[in-house]
Amino acid sequence: MRLNELDERIVRALAEDARRSYADIGAEVGLSAPAVKRRVDRLREQGAITGFTVRVDPAVLGWETEGFVEMYCRHKTSPEDIRRGLARYPEVASASTVTGDADAIVQVFASDMRHFERVLERIAGEPFVERTRSVLVLSPLLRRYGSGTPA
């Protein structure tokens, strides 16, 4: 599915500021407020827009420690198994299956090193996990588009 130009401009406006009024966005793209709302509603129904969220400074919420965990899984582990297993961790901000040696890359936020270690141990103990390899984030350089901050 692709969006037409109008939908894309609306999404772009919302990405910059999701609390702008429909009338305001409409003035920018050349539509009335109800027309903008109708399109946003439709985009939500179609799953193009999956929600609205807030961009937060991670440190302020106490998520001081961030890392990436490469997961090596047992044979015959399905992506859905991994997803279900990881969904239970609030510390997991994102996870994807990937090409290369590892099966998945998991982005983890923790309050401190001890917390990170504890999460890592629990993940490594999941039945579908063979082993893990992780790197810690030293400093986040760039974090655009509201990228991954736990709540």
Partner DNA sequence: CGTGAAAAACTAGAGTG
Partner DNA sequence: CACTCTAGTTTTTCACG
* Residues 6+ positions from 141 with CB-CB distance below 8 Å: none
Of 146, 90, 74, give the one whose Cα is nearest residue 122.
90
Which parts of 92-131 interact with a second copy (CB under 8 A)? 92-100, 102, 104-105, 107
Task: Identify which range of 17-25, 68-76, 95-103, 117-125 contacts DNA by CB under 7 A.
Answer: 17-25
Q: Which of 8, 12, 15, 21: binder of DNA (CB under 7 A)?
A: 21
CA-based nearest residue to 6, from 26, 24, 23, 21: 26
- Minimum CB distance to DNA, residue 94 (Å): 28
Question: Are 119 and 68 contacting, i.e. CB atoms less than 8 angstroms apart?
Answer: no
The site partner of 57 among a second copy, DNA, none (C-beta below 5 to 8 Å per kind) is a second copy
Please give the residues from 50 up to 79 whose contact with a second copy meets the rule CB under 8 A: 50-57, 59-62, 66-68, 79
Phi-psi region of 142 (alpha: psi -120 to 50; beta: other; left: phi over 0): beta
Q: Is 11 in the site for DNA (CB under 7 A)?
A: no
Residues at the interface with DNA (CB under 7 A): 6, 21-24, 26, 30-35, 37-39
